[in-house]
Amino acid sequence: MTHSQLTPGVAAGRLPRDSYADNFSDLHAPLTAHEAAVASDRCYFCHDAPCMTACPTSIDIPLFIRQISTGTEESAARTILEQNIMGGMCARVCPTETLCEEVCVRETAEGKPVEIGRLQRFATDTLMEKGVHPFARAASTGKKVAVVGAGPAGLSCAHRLALKGHDVVVFDGRAKAGGLNEFGIASYKSVDSFAEREVAWLLEIGGIEIRLGQRLGENLDLDALAADYDAVFLGMGLAGVNALRADGEDKGNVTDAVDFISDLRQADDLPALPVGRNVVVIGGGMTAVDAAVQSKLLGADSVTMVYRRGKDRMGASLFEQDLASSKGVRIIYNAMPVAVHGNGAVQEVEFEYTVDDGGKLSGTGERFFLAADQLFKAIGQTLTGAPADLTVERGKIVVSETGRSSRAGVWAGGDCASGGDDLTVTAVAEGRDAAEDIHTSLSVKE
């Protein structure tokens, strides 16, 4: 039974078999050596470079680009990885257009920044393809640290701790390590199992044990961890999902965008993955864009993203919005869901236009309906399973600059903790900085 984009309902195999590979290929193709030489040549080696300041992990961007330009990609990779052990993934998923590349002086001068993200990928890919892990552990300290969450924050923290000679056990609730790098990012940003390969490469430092299927609040207990380990780092992310709070939310084919993205990333056979003919995504962040674009790439006939505020307030960058538009996703701004209609499964979604009065949102009374066979909710994730004795504010574990929580001996970082944007690169920085503080703390004891 073959399906097309027009097949009603939710169906698999809407596209010719061979078009899936094209659709889900690398969003940004890797640079060839010649392209990297040309791209690196454009860097001015700025003093106190704005790009470096804009990078949450403070990578010495002018230096690594110069190292590429002089044919020493491995040294370039080392410069990157010393600051950001997940520099390979960040090169793929960082919204560089709002970070390093936005402030590049070439952007100011010509509207065309140095391609920092792609150059970073060129350097880190070169090193990883050689099978080199450029760091060696310090002598064992005999200290043990528990890390909860094998995502960017947890793994970054674990690597830095292992580097310093501590033994680390990383617990994760899922069946596979990697966190959002593995489960929460659009496939075309991490092709060829890159997230999995990066984790394996990162673990080559040694001294890190991963224990899967262990979730805080379920089969893992903070008190027990605190008793068994010299320090604990929490980097379990935001496992919960916000509800729409619209009537009919419980109807069939109304699901969380994060689950759709995760299923897609883990799918062995994309043509077998069902998608609606008419898909509606509610939300305005990266997750919403990832779900919308990938629905389209899977063969949905029409995909509409609906965001309750204006374009300028949208969490997804302009680049991401343009990407969605270029793939045929329609974006409707200033509208909020009122009700989900359907007989069992969703058939249409009712919206009301909104006005944003200095941050205060209200409905205009004017409503409209969108046909929908599938509705994805992407209106933010929430913290779940946080131990009761930790101070939590605005849905995040409160931490200091160096990641210390309100409980002595417990650090936190990444999306589950306060401070910084919910970005992979920010999580890596927070994990690293917490590890440095844990190391300092463990070193002065006794």
Partner 1 sequence: MANLASTFAGIKSPNPFWLASAPPTDKEYNVRRAFEAGWGGVVWKTLGEEGPPVVNVNGPRYGAIWGADRRLLGLNNIELITDRPLEVNLREIKAVKRDYPDRAMIVSLMVPCEEEAWKAILPHVEETGADGIELNFGCPHGMAERGMGSAVGQVPEYIEMVTRWCKQYSRMPVIVKLTPNITDIRRPAEAAKRGGADAVSLINTINSIVSVDLDNFAPQPTIDGKGTHGGYCGPAVKPIAMNMVAEIARNPETADLPISGIGGITTWRDAAEFIVLGCGNVQVCTAAMTYGFKIVEEMKSGLSQWMDEKGHESIDAVAGRAVPNVTDWQYLNLNKISKAVIDQDACISCGRCFAACEDTSHQAIEMSDDRVFTVKDDECVACNLCVVVCPVENCITMKELAPGDLDERTGEKVAAEYGNWTAHPNNPSATAAE
Binding positions for partner 1, rule: CB under 8 A: 34, 37, 41-42, 45, 47, 62-63, 66-67, 70-72, 74-75, 78-79
Check if the beta carbon of residue 104 is closer than 8 Å to that of residue 116. yes
Element (H, E) at 54: helix 50-54
Task: Pick between residue 7 and residue 67 the one whose CB is nearest to partner 1.
Answer: 67
A 10 A CB-CB count for 204 gives: 13
Rounded to the nearest whole angstrom, what is the least distance from the CB of residue 47 to partner 1 in the complex? 5
Strands 302-306 and 329-332: parallel
For the residues of 149-176, what is the DSSP string, one character each?
--SHHHHHHHHHHHHTT-EEEEEESSSS
DSSP state of 416: G
Closer residue to partner 1, CB minimum distance, 126 or 405: 126
Least Å distance between CB 62 and partner 1?
A: 8
Query: Which pairing describes strands 278-282 and 302-306: parallel, antiparallel, or unpaired?
Result: parallel
Instruction: Give me the least distance between CB of 72 and partner 1, in Å please.
Output: 5
Residue with tokens 């936005």: 102
**Residue 206: CB minimum distance to partner 1, A:** 19
- Minimal distance in Å, beta carbon 79 to partner 1? 7
Which lies closer to partner 1 via its Cβ, residue 106 or residue 330? 106
CB of 74 to partner 1, least distance (A): 6
Nearer CB in complex with partner 1: 76/442: 76
- Cβ-based nearer residue to partner 1, 37 or 212: 37
By C-beta, is 63 or 332 nearer to partner 1? 63
Residue among 43, 109, 103, 102 at smallest CA distance from 76: 43
- CB of 32 vs partner 1, minimal distance in Å: 11
Find the helix packing angle between 61-69 and 73-83, rounded to 10°: 160
Long-range CB contacts for residues 240-244, cutoff 8 Å, separation at least 24? 240/381, 240/382, 240/383, 240/384, 241/377, 241/380, 241/381, 241/382, 242/377, 242/379, 242/380, 242/381, 242/382, 243/377, 244/282, 244/337, 244/340, 244/377, 244/379
Give 69 or 302: the residue with its C-beta nearer to partner 1.
Answer: 69
